[in-house]
Chains A and B, each alone.
Chain A
């Protein structure tokens, strides 16, 4: 047990050490302060601006920014859709894969452009190397950068700065953060044993005398951006559990840290933007406590194992079902909570096979969306909760609530409300429809509580732009329910991505234009321990209690069922 706990502790310690440095580096990049990469990045960016015709100094306001996000994403989506549709005739296709069905293509394109990477297919048998690298790999950078740029625009507006220029920020995220780290990370993974090749799958003679094709490919570079960009779409179907994606404990550590690094550091970046590092660290602490709590109950559940199994064998066994023994219960639990919390969606163990405590934790993460949260969006949502808390409790100090010296009024509440509203709508309504017709639509492998969790999880994962799956659903072609899953998830993906992004940008734009109210002793300080605790309470009441009925009928009921 102690070895497992040590593994978890070391990983978290590394993250906590990285955060202040990375957080202030990100802040420097977007506050246009000198950084170490200037000499390399600046000429590259200038060239890109010139080629693309971007006027770098042109600031965007709310709607122009939104249009830039939507149009650019749409353009990229159309490009990749065509790429997939023509996969069969394009090069870099050593296994000669044909184009996937239209609905799989549509769902995949939407899933990757929304930084979700929900996969209703097996990578190695559906998409060619070319499609993976030029289509999916391309999205892994741009979709992550889109969320990141929006997050930067959001904090700029919130703190009274102009929102900035979407294209400039998009490029900067890639040239100064994603690309440099990915390059180094890919080399490290390569050295640690992850393949990077364009060769066709190796065919080997097995001991039995049969032959087996061993899928391989340009994995190393794909793997690092998959984690760093909180993408999560695996090169292979079983994702980071595959020995070519994640061969050993060292690569697992690298990948875990990579997927946590940006959303954790971005909270500190926000603190720097707000001119209040304490605020950043308090919020970091709040999320860290929830995060550690979820890791604890997940890890505890796996360590104690399944009571029914233990009874049957008369021994206390760790739950290793659906896990890679090279990772064990501890690293699997840590990875599961981290990947669902950060909306990465990569998995190194089958989530479906976790004990109900683990199932509860991963669902809880998807519902809250702030236990680090998606690339950029998670931190933004955290600040939305902060705004809502300020509004609810701020009245109690007898003034119109304000955050960062700006009043929170009807437009802000309306926009924050939209973000609050989208999630339950996008998860609960399609789940209810699907479960109302379990035979025709769900194609669910489990009856009862676990089956319910599987369905709800799929939509929660889509709405939160996570991408991981509880699996056990016949959600891919050619299953008869594949079409429903592809289309309904596509709608949920789009709603869960773009509606909140629009609301965030409009909210930021509104805040930017407000007059600054000077701070006095009558101003509610949001950087106190008390206020942060209250924020935690509001997150639980507004964010989590909404989903209590679903959790009660899913993971909680299952836990009672197993323990009784």
Chain B
């Protein structure tokens, strides 16, 4: 039973994990992105359409990345180049994503594709309890593991990662050191958006291989919240995404097993969890353990005087 639960947890958590990782990259460079929900939809549609038209899942994933990369560059243009309000631009991006995918997705409704299948990793998938859940999944899940590591490695073990963090922390200082703030921020927003798009594509290519309008159903907003829970760290994002996926999976399975716990109590669990998370992160904040980039949400203008 525990094995099955863990397996469902990873499946439910993966789209949120991709989106959270993408959002972390954005925010590490100092740009708030509330367009995650819209970007996920763009990724879901692009991924599905790409796979449907080409017959290749890889093409779908690449297309999802490219489409959200382009959509994200709108946000980047407004917030980085034009120094517009990041909140407004992000919200507009979500509305844009919902609308444009509804418009262009019409032809894809009701179409079917063969989605991602499970690929067992020899050896690792035989580990008791966790083996099946973590190493008998589809390729995108393995990619998400890799991405968690790569993002951590990039930010904490490379010069460019350090530069990008400093751009988010103190853009003026980074500028003085000779790093181009706008270049780093533009890259963070576009590449981050691309990974958010893969999260959307996970829904339309792996979870439920189909396209339906608005199929992300609010997962983008969960990702926005998880960024704070994860205090801008990719390994913690993994923990948060699985915790959230796990609680949903658990309450559904309790119902399916026919436990006599009231469905209403079970459905409260995700919200109780949210409150607990808020309390924990607030306490951590007071202890000074908060990792929020100092320059988050502030447009940077070299000519500005502070």
Partners in one complex: no
